[in-house]
Each structure stands twice: as C-alpha cells, then as structure tokens.
C-alpha cells in the first residue's frame, strides 16, 4: 500500500481551550504530515471532513489527535484498507491540565501535547497495514484426548458443529470413570433423586457419529506443529515409541550432553523438530484426560491401607456397583481431626455429593437396618446441589453431623470411629461395618506431561504448581487458556467437577478448539488479542542464536534448529511481543508495532537540553490495564505530571531495552514501565510479560550504573486498572526522584 | 450485518460477564451476534464488584479486555437500555421484538461531562444502591461501556433540561427521544440475564430496614470500591462511623424454605473477600461470621485458610435468628451456636447480610414463555433453540459462568449450522 497521509486535530472536549492549536498543527507539519483541525471530529461533520480527504486525495493513513484510542473506535474506522493512528490529547493532556492563571497557554502542557502529536505522526509514518499469516494447508480436525464424560462430550459437541474429531482413549473401552458408577447425581429440577448413569448412551452416540473416529487402547506419543497443523503421533497405550515427546533440554544441559558429560534424556527419540511423516494432522486439541483417585494412606489415624474395610469413595463405588453395600457405614469428609477443618485435597465440592450419593446406597441396600453416617466439617453442596443434600437429610437411616473424626480403629469385628466436636453435644464412638474416606480427584496433569508436546520449551504445561497441578494459566478471567495455544482443557484436569459441570466445560472447550481453528484459518490471533492480524516477523540474517526469544516466549511459540535459530510458529503466537522485547539484535517486529517505530517515537520527543525545569521521563505503558487507568485519571480531571510522556505498548514484555537506551541517549532523564502485577497471582494478560520486563529493567539499571548514571533512573511500577486516582502520585514520586538526581548528564551530547 | 441476519445469528440477552463471554465466544468463531442489555452499560453485577476472589484483582480489568474485544469485532452489535418484548418462531428462525428505552443522550456524546455541570438535580445513584447521589445526567460509572451519559429526564425540571441541552456542544441531548421497538431475526437465543441480590426486606427477622448499620454484601462491595460512595473507605452508611466491629450473616435468604431454596454459591467466598477488605483498612476490627457451612471448596480453601487464622475473626456455626437495632447506631445479632448450644448475642457496628442470588429474569421470562425451573433459573434447551448461561442458569461463580457461557455459545452456533 502506498501511504497517503492525513492528520487531523480535534479541538473539542476542551482540547482547543487549553492548547495552542496552531502550534500543534505546525508540529505535525514539521514532523512531516500537514494537519487540519476541526471542532468535533467524531461527529458526522467531522468524519465527513476526513472522508472527503479519503475520497479526494486518496488518504489512507490517518492521524487523529483528540480523544483516547479506547473510545470512538468505530467513528474513526475508515475501512480495512486504511490505517488510523490516534494521539491522545484529551485524557492524557487537556483533561489533566488547564490554562495558566493569566489565561495564557501553559507551555508545559503545550509541550506535552506537541510531543503526543509528534509521536502520533511518527507512528503513522512507521506503521504498515498488516497482512494476515495464512497457513498453506490447514487441518480443521479436532483431537480429543480422553474418552470419559469430558472427552465424549467435547467430541460429540464439536462433531455437532460440523467438525471431524478423533477421540483417543488409553483404556480398551470408552466411558472413563463413569463406567463404574452405580448412580449419578441429579441433573434436573428438583434435583432430589439420583439418576441412572447415562454413560452408555453417551458412548453409543459417539460411536455412532460418522464424524468421530475413536481410537481406544491408544495414547498420544507426541504433538508437534502448531494450531491448524498439529502433527500428532499415536501409539499403543503403554508402549514406548521413538516418537515419544522429548524431555526439555536446556542450553546448558545440551552443552554437557555434547561434551559427553551428561546422558541425553532423549536418547533413541526422534528430535522434537522432526515432523513424523506418518503423523496425523489436527487443527486443535482438547485435553480431557481426567483424574486419578488420591491415595489417602498418609492419614494414619484413619487407617486406609492398614485396617480392612476402611476404603476410599472410589473403592466404595466399585463395591456398590457390583453388589450390596454393608449396613453401617461412616463417611469421613475431612482428614484433619480437630486441628484442620479442610476437606481432603483435590475434593472441590464433588466429594460431599459423592458421600450423599453413597449414603443412599447404604439405606437402599439395607432397608431395615441401614445406617449411613456422614461426618463433615462443611457440607459442600453449592448452587442446586443443595437440593440433593436436603432430600438426603430427609432420608431415614442417613445421619449427618459436623464433626472432627479423630481416629478409626478395628475392634470386635467392627470398626470404631471416634467423633468429636459434633452437633450432638458429646463425643461419640460410632460402631460401623465400613469407613469411607472422601479421597480427592488428582488431575492427570499434576504428575505427568499428559499433553506430550514436541516443543522447545518441553512436553508439559508450565508452572502448574501455581494452580495445584490443574491445567490452568489464568484463573478467573481466561478460563480456557493454557500456556499452549490451541490446547484447551476440560473436566478433571481443570478442577474436580460434577457431571453437569463437566458437560458444560467440555462443550466450552470444544468451542475454543473450533474458534482457534477458524482464527488460524483467517490468519488472526486468538485470545486475548483476538482478531489481531499482525504477527512477529524475524529478520533471520542478523540472528545471533542467543535463544532469548525462544526461552522467554510465555506460550512456547518458538522452536529452534540445531544452531539455535528460532523456528516461528505464528499460529501458536499470542502476539504479545515478548520475543520482540527480548531480542538484542532487534530483528523481531510486527507490521504495526516495531522496534524502529517505538524507538522513533521516543526520539521524536523534544528534549530541552538547557532547562533544568523541563526534565523528561519516558513512560512505557501496558495498554491492557495501565493505559486505561491513565485515561480514567484524565476522566477524573486529575492533574498529571507534565514531564512524563506516555508510550503505549502491547505488554511490558514487548519493551525492548533499546528503547530505554534511545530515551536516555536522546537526553531524557528517566524511563519508567507501568504494567500489571506479577508473581504468583499475576494479572499480566500474557502471563510473564511484566515479570520479564522487571528483570530486564534491573539489568539495564546496572548497565546505566556502569556508565555513571543512577540505576534508579529506570523503574517499574505495577498498576491495577483501578489505580487511576493513585496514579498521579505514583508518577510524581518517580519523577521527583529523577528531579532530585538532576538532569541526565549526557543531555545534549 | 443487517437486522435480518437470520442465518446463524445469535441473540444474547443480558450483557454481564456471562453475556459478554457468550457473545464474544460466538462472534470470534465467526457468527453474527446481537448483544442486548437492559442497563445503560455493559458489565452487569461484575462491574459493581470491588475485587474478584481469590486473586483480589479488579473485575474491571477483565471487563476492559472484553470491551476491547467487542470494539475490535464487527460481528457483534450491541444495544443498551434494551429489553425483549416478545419471541416467536423457533430454532433457526426466531423473530424477536425488542424495545430500547430512551437514553435522551444520543451517539454524539463524547462523555466530556459539560451536561452534568449544568444539571441542577441529583438522583439516588443506582450503581451504588442509593448510598450516594449523582447528577441526574450521569455516566453510569466511570468505566462504563459504552462511555455515554444517560439522562434521568423525569428527575429534572424543565429549566434544568434546557440548561443541560444548552450545555452540550455536540448536540447529544435529545429530550424528545422515544422508546424504539425493533425486530431481530436470529437462529438461537442465549439468556444470560443474571441475578439480583435477594431483597433483604423479605427476610423479616433480619430487620434490614430497621438500621443503616445493616448492609448487603453487594453494598459492601460498593463501600469498599474506590469509585464507590465513600471512595473506598468502609464507613457505616448514615453516620459515616468507622466500624470497629463487623458481623457477616451467611445464607441471608439462601438455603431457606421461606426464601431462596438453593445455595447461592458465592457468598462464603464473598465474605472471606470482604474480610480482606476490612483487614486492609481496620487491622484490629473484630469480625464475627455466622454460618451454616463454609462453602469454599477446592482452590478456594487456600483463601479461607488465610483468614481463618486471623485472631480477631470468630466463626460461629449458627443461623442468625434476629438482628436488633441499637441506640448507638450499631446492631445486636442473635444466633445459637450449633456446636456449643449457647445463645450468642453479638453487638457490632456494621452487619453485612450475605444475601443470595435471585435469578433476574423472573416474571418477564414467564411472559416470554421462557422455560424456567422451580427456582426461576432458565432451563437450557438446545432443541428449542433457547440456551442459558451463567447465573441465569444456576447460581455459580465467575469462573464457572465463563465455562457455561462458552458452552452456550457452541450450542447456539450448532443451531445455525
């Protein structure tokens, strides 16, 4: 596209009242694009004003300096073949300041606005219309791993939407844990009675569905490739294969292996980058490999594994499925005695329901003398599960109490259960035939690779310890995202779920798999930059194989070759730009976001070299939360420090340290990053961006130190979107520190 | 995309976190979506929350990314102040009549705020449950999307209306705006109409209206929010006292034969979250929690554990029998401790009712022939082209709402194919 520029200044919403309009227009012209002004650009007349230039002069690259880019997006969208760049003069400038007391324009405010105009013009000059990345071939087939309720549902629902599915199950038959159920929880109002298992119907429907290929007794050896073209190797369950997913080998470990000092953990395996010519192609993956029953023998006072007839809930279900259960049964929900009222680990709210269900077996099988005792600390029957709890409370022979179970012993052919702190007043010893422990459901992802990826960053999801081993990456807001694009979880790998929840969860996972495939097909990003057509472009001839991009990508999008040159997989990429921020050679760029663009914007900021009152601080602002917070601060008409210049970035992870150097070498006096909270409860939309950026800033601080500059000239602040009223003080504090240090001594050189 | 985009188009009713999720997930597959919301803004209940549990992060962060996705997606058309009037047809060819109430502020609005400066009248702020007032022409809240003012015309004098109109430089005030009815043709409908806090006045023994020292948990969210009526400082409504003691009354209206029979799922976690708000401001305040069960399963147990260890917080298993207003502005909460059998009379400065979730569609759903269960939750029925999501379907937390809404999006898409 040959760019034809037009720049427009909106003087409405108070902009024209506090700024020198002609001065701003001159600044745009000096920067290379002539600028016109209008009293209300977002109105019909204002848009027509711009549209006329589009029609008459073929303007296709439009600079709009006015309100925040977060508003009036539709109003300034002039079609797919045009680019609109916004300069934020309203929220970031006009609404944060005023005229001087004598009615004249405040030169500090004017300089701020002028810099935003220059930066917008520069951005327009450096940006390009993106061309989406299209795969040459794409598979729209979906792989579902795991043939229990979650996997069966995901397969069936994806097929109903018209997609081909392959369902793999390592056991000889489909159905998973539900095959062993005698009854299942109520699924419809009034939620009072147990239902007969529907698992056989679900299996039969899947088997009858022509769009679903079922592979039982089969496992996934490895998944290579990327969304739209995952290359999947299957193998007989339990067998070893040369295509098994290789373990992660760090660069240091590889050195040792090469020197013969360390045994290669992947000996005999195909290299992770080798595509299996016999592999099957898939567009996306649903992981539904479920859970395993927890081992509860560690709770010695409860006697599992030592005392006969102390069983887990899973073992009890098996007994109940195969025959009559004993008449007197105690169900123990919490293992902590008097000290701890938590349930067994990995229970969620499922095991309370299981105990209620199994208590029903006791009274059903023993109509005359059945006695089920449910000993709980907190009955966890949320939402509509409460109705089943209620209906069981009304059952003859079912006794429930809050209680601390302190000991289980065998004696006189029965089991004795010591119960304290209960609702009946005194300590009890119950005599029962069997004790059932409410063991939890451990996600298969907690102990094993499970997903078996042939990726540079290794075969498993990362950092699952933050999520108790559940396959999650962003609890609460992005429920389906994992750290591996195109792979969506459901069922027991996500949390201990009831069947109802699992069905919703699996249906949702099927949707995400479909959405990922369609996004790959359109050449656009998935969540959270959904629809973004840009992707990182590598200028390989200058790559030094430093591997930083490969190692830092939060989503494992980059593989590498023997030499360490990155092998990009654009459909794995979430477009955060962490690779761009990592690259010391500055060879990774996006069409509308590049090292040169932001660097040039920084350099377009005018730095007075002889005025100690007019220091300058470049503030790189995460556009997800920190930027909206600055907007909101402006909405509140909070004053903003006029020495700072805000530069929006995709994620702090994308901030390349060369920009900091650009800022400091152009005489600016400090540089600050504003981004999301990091750590165990990170809020970074791209998981690692703000954390990585903080580390880089520490390093650059040290570099500055070696040049004789104070390391504290570079800082990072974590900002929540709701911190808008605190923001001015946070900025002021940083700027005051810089002011105290004095001007950048290299200013003017 | 036009109003007659019937083929595969999805109507999502309710623009809270569930509706936003369902709409976006369907649109990002490639379907046309109409998203309608009865309030003047999107975000629903979540927009009113100060923080999410257990991460204690601001819900507006999650809303912001969803609003960005909407702005970036041309397949979603949004409508505020809009309700469904009738539904006819069936799966694949629904015809839905809708009505948009007058906002009296048109799309020219730039949210500059000049109108509010000119407005003389104030109204009780519905966003903050009436705990403060706002100008009668107002932005529903500062993060509101769409960022457009709304005018409570009936609250204004003729002179004030003239002044408001004159103050707007952009001709955005339209005092003659009328209700607009229109028809959409869609293949499927997702009901994501959410919930209302159960009316505490109906729980007569808790004497909600007898004292300003009794608030609901949703009011507590607003009291703790920086953009709330007290700028985030937790103060007793009415006299502005800094409370030295707090009581939380769990299951206020939930798990109760006479009120909501279901468990409202989130209230235990909400209380622990609100304990964290109190602790941040009043490190030594005494807190008493009256509960039946503490339903903080799974991942939430870590969060509970942290606050159970707090020496100044007492947990009493027992249902509250009554609350009596005291002359000093506080209240006395009475309950029986179910474990010791002792009667507890606890005097506190502020009492928070953990009021439950009542499905919001209610009578309106019946009039539209939407299938609802005995509790008023909407039954999801793909065969009829009617899906439900989030708290319209069952009382759940935000995370589970995300799952159910994403699932509803797929079921809706299947109908159009």
Choices 3.30.420.60, 3.10.20.90, 3.50.50.60, 1.10.3720.10: CATH for A295-439: 3.50.50.60
A 664-693 → B contacts, CB under 8 A:
677, 681, 683, 685
B161: containing domain: 114-167
Tell me if A295-439 shares its fold with A593-749: no
Residue B1 pLDDT: 42
A 181-220 → B contacts, CB under 8 A:
188-190
Residue B417 pLDDT: 82
Task: Please give, rounded to a whole number of angstroms, the shortest distance from the CA of B28 to a CA of chain A.
Answer: 6
Chain B residue nearest residue A721, CA to CA: B61
Rounded Cα–Cα distance for residues A741 and A513 (Å): 53
Rounded Cα–Cα distance for residues A410 and A433 (Å): 10
Helix ranges (H only) for B255-395 are 267-281, 300-308, 362-367
B29 interaction partners in chain A (CB closer than 8 Å): 511, 514-515, 518
Chain A residue nearest residue B145, CA to CA: A71
Rounded Cα–Cα distance for residues B69 and B256 (Å): 40
Residue B283 lies in a domain: yes
Q: Is B180 on the interface with A (CB under 8 A)?
A: no
Name the residue among A71, A349, A514 with its Cβ closest to that of B147.
A71
Residue B173 lies in a domain: no
Chain A residue nearest residue B301, CA to CA: A342
Rounded Cα–Cα distance for residues A407 and A300 (Å): 9
Average pLDDT of the residues in A641-667: 96
Identify which of A591, A598, A590, A589 has the alpha carbon closest to the alpha carbon of residue A621. A598
B 314-373 → A contacts, CB under 8 A:
317, 338-339, 341, 373
Average pLDDT of the residues in B343-350: 98
Residue that finishes a domain, picked among B336, B356, B376: B356
Asked whether residue B222 falls in the same domain as residue B189, the answer is no
Q: What's the CATH architecture for A537-588?
A: 2-Layer Sandwich (3.30)
B341 interaction partners in chain A (CB closer than 8 Å): 425
Tens digit of each residue's pLDDT (9 = 90 or more) over A12-48: 999 999 999 999 999 999 999 999 999 999 999 999 9
A 484-523 → B contacts, CB under 8 A:
495-496, 501, 503-512, 514-515, 518-519, 522
Task: Please give, rounded to a whole number of angstroms, the shortest distance from the CA of A607 to a CA of chain B.
Answer: 31
Residue B320 lies in a domain: yes
A423 interaction partners in chain B (CB closer than 8 Å): 338-339
Tens digit of each residue's pLDDT (9 = 90 or more) over B157-193: 999 999 999 999 999 999 999 999 999 999 999 999 9
Rounded Cα–Cα distance for residues B173 and A265 (Å): 71
A720 interaction partners in chain B (CB closer than 8 Å): 57-58, 61
Residue A548 pLDDT: 96
Asked whether residue B210 falls in the same domain as residue B266, the answer is yes
Contacts of B68 (CB under 8 A, 6+ apart): A70
Choices 3.30.70.1290, 3.50.50.60, 3.40.50.300, 2.120.10.70: CATH for A142-291+444-522: 3.50.50.60
- Total Cβ atoms within 10 A of residue A53: 17
**Residue B310 — left, alpha, or beta (φ > 0 → left; ψ -120 to 50 → alpha)?**
beta
Residue B4 pLDDT: 46
Q: Is the pLDDT of residue A231 over 80?
A: yes
Asked whether residue B36 falls in the same domain as residue B143, the answer is no
A 536-595 → B contacts, CB under 8 A:
none
Rounded Cα–Cα distance for residues A41 and A20 (Å): 17
Q: What's the CATH architecture for A1-129?
A: 3-Layer(aba) Sandwich (3.40)
Residue B5 lies in a domain: no
Q: Is the pLDDT of residue A203 over 90?
A: yes
Name the residue among A160, A342, A390 with its Cβ closest to that of B414.
A160
Please indicate whether, in this complex, the C-beta atoms of B62 and A476 are within 8 angstroms of each other: yes
- Could you give the count of Cα atoms lying within 13 Å of B261 in the half-sphere of its Cβ? 17
Tens digit of each residue's pLDDT (9 = 90 or more) over A67-88: 999 999 999 999 999 999 999 9
pLDDT band at A749 (very low <50, low <70, confident <90, very high): low
Q: Is B160 on the interface with A (CB under 8 A)?
A: no
Residues A354, A355, A357, A358, CA torsion sign: positive
Rounded to the nearest integer, the mean pLDDT of chain A is: 96
Q: Is the pLDDT of residue A605 over 50?
A: yes
Residue A425 pLDDT: 75
Tens digit of each residue's pLDDT (9 = 90 or more) over A538-547: 999 999 999 9
Please indicate whether, in this complex, the C-beta atoms of B71 and A624 are within 8 angstroms of each other: no
Identify which of B379, B383, B369, B380 has the alpha carbon closest to the alpha carbon of residue B408. B380
Please indicate whether, in this complex, the C-beta atoms of B58 and A74 are within 8 angstroms of each other: no
Tokens of B152: 């409570």
Q: Is B396 on the interface with A (CB under 8 A)?
A: yes
Q: Is A338 on the interface with B (CB under 8 A)?
A: no
Identify which of A474, A480, A470, A467 has the alpha carbon closest to the alpha carbon of residue A441. A470
Task: Please give, rounded to a whole number of angstroms, the shortest distance from the CA of B206 to a CA of chain A.
Answer: 22
Please indicate whether, in this complex, the C-beta atoms of A382 and B414 are within 8 angstroms of each other: no
Q: Is the pLDDT of residue A426 over 90?
A: no
Q: Is the pLDDT of residue B231 over 60?
A: yes
* CATH numeric code, A593-749: 3.40.50
Q: Is B255 on the interface with A (CB under 8 A)?
A: yes
Helix/strand/coil for A236? strand
A346 interaction partners in chain B (CB closer than 8 Å): 298
- Helix, strand, coil tally for chain B in percent (to 5): 30, 25, 45
pLDDT band at A616 (very low <50, low <70, confident <90, very high): very high
Phi, psi of A379 (to 5 degrees): -75, 115
Asked whether residue B311 falls in the same domain as residue B241, the answer is yes
Asked casually if ipTM beats, i.e. exceeds, 0.95, the reply is yes
Tens digit of each residue's pLDDT (9 = 90 or more) over B95-109: 999 999 999 999 999
Please indicate whether, in this complex, the C-beta atoms of B374 and A189 are within 8 angstroms of each other: yes
Residue B296 lies in a domain: yes
Asked whether residue B211 falls in the same domain as residue B265, the answer is yes
Average pLDDT of the residues in B290-309: 93
Asked whether residue B283 falls in the same domain as residue B399, the answer is no
Asked whether residue B393 falls in the same domain as residue B376, the answer is yes
Cis preceding-peptide flag for B25 (omega within 30 of 0): no
Residue B2 pLDDT: 44
Average pLDDT of the residues in A344-362: 97
Please indicate whether, in this complex, the C-beta atoms of A720 and B58 are within 8 angstroms of each other: yes
Tens digit of each residue's pLDDT (9 = 90 or more) over B2-35: 444 457 999 999 999 999 999 999 999 999 999 9
Name the residue among B111, B261, B298 with its Cβ closest to that of A387.
B261
By the 10 Å C-beta count (0-12 exposed, 13-18 middle, 19+ buried), A680 is classed as: exposed
Average pLDDT of the residues in A191-216: 97
Rounded Cα–Cα distance for residues A545 and B96 (Å): 59
Residue B388 lies in a domain: yes
Residue A411 pLDDT: 87
Residue B369: CATH number of its domain: 3.50.50.60
Q: Is B111 on the interface with A (CB under 8 A)?
A: yes
Chain A residue nearest residue B24, CA to CA: A530
Asked whether residue B206 falls in the same domain as residue B270, the answer is yes
Residue B106 lies in a domain: no
Residue B108 lies in a domain: no
User: What is the count of residue pairs from A and B with beta carbons less than 8 Å apart?
Assistant: 219
Rounded Cα–Cα distance for residues B271 and B289 (Å): 8
Identify which of A655, A285, A698 has the alpha carbon closest to the alpha carbon of residue A490. A285
- Selected residue of B52, B61, B337 to mutate for chain A interface (largest A Cβ count, 10 A): B61
Rounded Cα–Cα distance for residues A590 and B54 (Å): 36
What is the residue-wise DSSP string for A600-668?
Answer: HHHHHS---SS-TT---EEEEEETTTHHHHHHHHHHTT----TTEEEEEES-GGG--HHHHHHHHHTT-
Tens digit of each residue's pLDDT (9 = 90 or more) over A128-151: 999 999 999 999 999 999 999 999
CB A51 within 8 Å of CB A41: no
Task: Please give, rounded to a whole number of angstroms, the shortest distance from the CA of B417 to a CA of chain A.
Answer: 7
Residue A81 pLDDT: 94
Rounded Cα–Cα distance for residues A486 and A490 (Å): 13
Domain count, chain B: 3
Average pLDDT of the residues in A492-505: 96
Share of chain A above pLDDT 90, in %: 94
Rounded Cα–Cα distance for residues A542 and A529 (Å): 28
Instruction: Delimit the domains of chain A by residue range.
Output: 1-129, 142-291+444-522, 295-439, 537-588, 593-749
A349 interaction partners in chain B (CB closer than 8 Å): 295, 297-298
A71 interaction partners in chain B (CB closer than 8 Å): 111, 147
Phi, psi of B390 (to 5 degrees): 65, -145
- Selected residue of A355, A383, A466, A678 to mutate for chain B interface (largest B Cβ count, 10 A): A383
Q: What does the longest C-alpha to C-alpha distance in chain A come to?
A: 100
CB A218 within 8 Å of CB A169: yes
Q: Give the end-to-end CA distance of chain B in Å, rounded to a whole number.
A: 18
């Amino acid at each position: 596209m040959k760019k034809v520029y037009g720049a427009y200044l909106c003087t409405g919403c108070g902009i024209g009242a506090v700024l020198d309009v002609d001065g701003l227009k001159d600044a745009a012209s000096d920067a290379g694009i002539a600028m016109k002004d209008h009293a209300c650009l977002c109105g019909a007349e204002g848009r027509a004003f711009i549209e006329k230039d589009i029609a008459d002069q073929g303007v296709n690259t439009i600079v709009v300096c006015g309100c925040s880019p977060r508003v009036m997006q539709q109003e300034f969208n002039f079609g797919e073949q045009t680019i609109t760049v916004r300069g934020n003069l309203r929220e970031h400038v006009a609404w944060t300041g005023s005229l001087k007391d004598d009615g004249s324009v405040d030169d500090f405010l004017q300089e701020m606005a002028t810099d935003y105009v220059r930066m917008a013009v520069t951005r327009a000059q450096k940006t390009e219309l993106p061309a989406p990345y299209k795969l040459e071939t794409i598979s729209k087939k979906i792989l579902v791993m795991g043939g229990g309720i979650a996997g069966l549902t995901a397969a069936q629902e994806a097929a109903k939407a018209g997609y081909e599915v392959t369902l793999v199950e390592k056991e000889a038959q489909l159905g998973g844990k539900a095959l062993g159920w005698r009854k299942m929880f109520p699924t419809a109002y009034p939620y009072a009675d147990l239902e007969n298992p529907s698992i056989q119907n679900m299996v039969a429907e899947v088997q009858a569905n022509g769009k679903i290929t079922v592979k039982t007794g089969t496992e996934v050896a490895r998944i290579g490739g990327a969304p739209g073209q995952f290359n999947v190797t299957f193998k007989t369950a339990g067998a070893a294969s040369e295509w098994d997913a290789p373990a992660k080998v760090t660069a240091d470990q590889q050195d040792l292996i090469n020197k013969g000092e360390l045994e290669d953990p992947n000996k005999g395996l195909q290299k992770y980058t080798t595509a299996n010519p016999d592999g099957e192609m898939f567009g996306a993956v649903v992981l539904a490999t479920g859970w395993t029953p927890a081992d509860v023998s560690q709770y010695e006072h409860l006697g599992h594994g030592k005392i006969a007839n102390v069983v887990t809930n899973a073992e009890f279900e098996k007994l109940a499925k195969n025959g009559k259960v004993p008449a007197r049964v105690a169900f123990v929900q919490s293992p902590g005695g008097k000290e701890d009222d938590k349930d067994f680990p990995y229970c969620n709210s499922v095991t309370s329901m299981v105990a209620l269900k199994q208590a029903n077996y006791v009274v059903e099988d023993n109509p005359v003398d059945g006695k089920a005792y449910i000993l709980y600390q907190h009955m966890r029957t949320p939402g509509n599960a409460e109705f089943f709890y209620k209906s069981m409370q009304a059952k003859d022979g079912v006794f429930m109490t809050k209680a601390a179970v302190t000991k289980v012993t065998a004696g006189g052919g029965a089991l004795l259960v010591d119960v304290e702190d209960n609702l009946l007043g005194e300590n009890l010893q119950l005599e029962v035939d069997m004790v059932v422990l409410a063991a939890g459901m451990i996600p298969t992802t907690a102990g094993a690779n499970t997903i078996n990826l042939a990726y540079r960053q290794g075969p498993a999801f990362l950092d699952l310890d933050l999520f108790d081993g559940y396959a999650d990456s962003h609890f609460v807001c992005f429920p389906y995202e994992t750290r591996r694009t195109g792979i969506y979880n459901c069922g027991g790998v996500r949390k201990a779920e009831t069947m109802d929840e699992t069905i919703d969860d699996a249906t949702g996972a099927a949707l995400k798999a479909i959405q990922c495939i369609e996004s790959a097909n359109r050449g656009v990003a998935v969540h959270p930059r959904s629809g973004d057509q840009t992707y990182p472009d590598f200028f390989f001839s200058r790559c030094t194989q430093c591997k930083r991009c490969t190692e830092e990508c939060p989503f494992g999008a980059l593989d590498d070759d023997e030499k360490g040159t990155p092998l990009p997989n654009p459909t794995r990429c979430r477009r955060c730009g962490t690779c761009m921020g990592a690259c010391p050679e500055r060879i990774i760029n996006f069409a509308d976001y590049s090292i040169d663009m932001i660097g040039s914007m920084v350099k377009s900021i005018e730095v007075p070299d002889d005025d100690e009152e007019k220091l300058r601080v470049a503030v790189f602002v995460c556009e997800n939360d920190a930027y909206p917070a600055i907007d909101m601060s402006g909405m509140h008409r909070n004053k903003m420090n006029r020495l700072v210049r805000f530069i929006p970035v995709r994620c702090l992870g994308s901030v390349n340290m060369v920009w900091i150097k650009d800022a400091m070498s152009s005489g600016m006096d400090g540089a600050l990053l504003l981004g999301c909270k990091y750590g165990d409860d990170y809020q970074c939309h791209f998981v690692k961006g703000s954390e990585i950026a903080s580390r880089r800033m520490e390093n650059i601080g040290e570099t500055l130190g070696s040049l004789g500059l104070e390391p504290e000239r570079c800082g990072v602040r974590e900002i929540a979107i709701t911190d808008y009223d605190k923001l001015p003080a946070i900025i002021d504090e940083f700027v005051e520190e810089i002011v105290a240090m004095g001007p950048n001594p290299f200013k003017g050189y | 995309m036009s109003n007659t985009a019937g083929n595969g188009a999805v109507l999502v009713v309710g623009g809270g976190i569930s509706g936003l999720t369902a709409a976006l997930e369907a649109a990002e597959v490639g379907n046309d979506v109409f998203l309608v919301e009865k309030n003047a803004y999107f975000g629903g209940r979540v927009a009113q929350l100060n923080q999410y549990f257990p991460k204690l992060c601001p819900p507006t962060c999650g809303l912001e990314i969803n609003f960005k996705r909407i702005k970036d997606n041309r397949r979603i058309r949004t409508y505020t102040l809009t309700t469904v009037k009738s539904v006819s047809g069936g799966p694949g060819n629904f015809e839905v009549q809708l009505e948009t109430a007058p906002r009296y502020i048109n799309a020219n609005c730039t949210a500059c705020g000049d109108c509010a400066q000119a407005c003389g009248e104030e109204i009780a702020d519905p966003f903050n449950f009436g705990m403060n007032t706002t100008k009668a022409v107002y932005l529903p809240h500062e993060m509101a999307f769409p960022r457009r003012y709304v005018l409570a015309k009936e609250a204004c004098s003729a002179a004030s209306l003239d002044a408001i109109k004159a103050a707007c430089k952009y001709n955005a005030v339209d005092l003659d705006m009328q209700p607009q009815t229109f028809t959409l043709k869609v293949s499927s409908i997702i009901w994501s109409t959410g919930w209302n806090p159960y009316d505490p006045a109906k729980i007569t023994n808790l004497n909600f209206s007898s004292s300003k020292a009794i608030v609901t948990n949703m009011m507590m969210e607003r009291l703790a929010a920086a953009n709330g009526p007290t700028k985030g400082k937790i103060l007793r409504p009415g006299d502005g006292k800094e409370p030295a003691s707090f009581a939380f009354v769990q299951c206020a209206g939930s798990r109760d034969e006479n009120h909501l029979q279901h468990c409202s799922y989130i209230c235990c976690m909400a209380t622990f979250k609100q304990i964290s708000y109190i602790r941040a401001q009043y490190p030594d305040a005494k807190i008493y929690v009256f509960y039946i069960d503490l339903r903080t399963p799974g991942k939430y147990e870590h969060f509970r554990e942290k606050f159970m260890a707090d020496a100044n917080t007492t947990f009493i298993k027992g249902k509250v029998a009554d609350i009596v207003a005291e002359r000093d502005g506080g209240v006395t909460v009475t309950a029986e401790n179910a474990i010791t059998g002792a009667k507890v009379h606890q005097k506190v400065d502020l009492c928070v009712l953990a009021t439950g979730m009542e499905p919001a569609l209610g009578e309106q759903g019946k009039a539209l022939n939407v299938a609802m269960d005995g509790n008023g939750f909407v039954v999801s029925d793909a065969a009829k082209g009617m899906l439900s999501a989030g708290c319209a379907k069952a009382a759940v937390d935000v995370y589970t709402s995300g799952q159910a809404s994403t699932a509803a999006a797929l079921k809706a898409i299947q109908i159009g194919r």
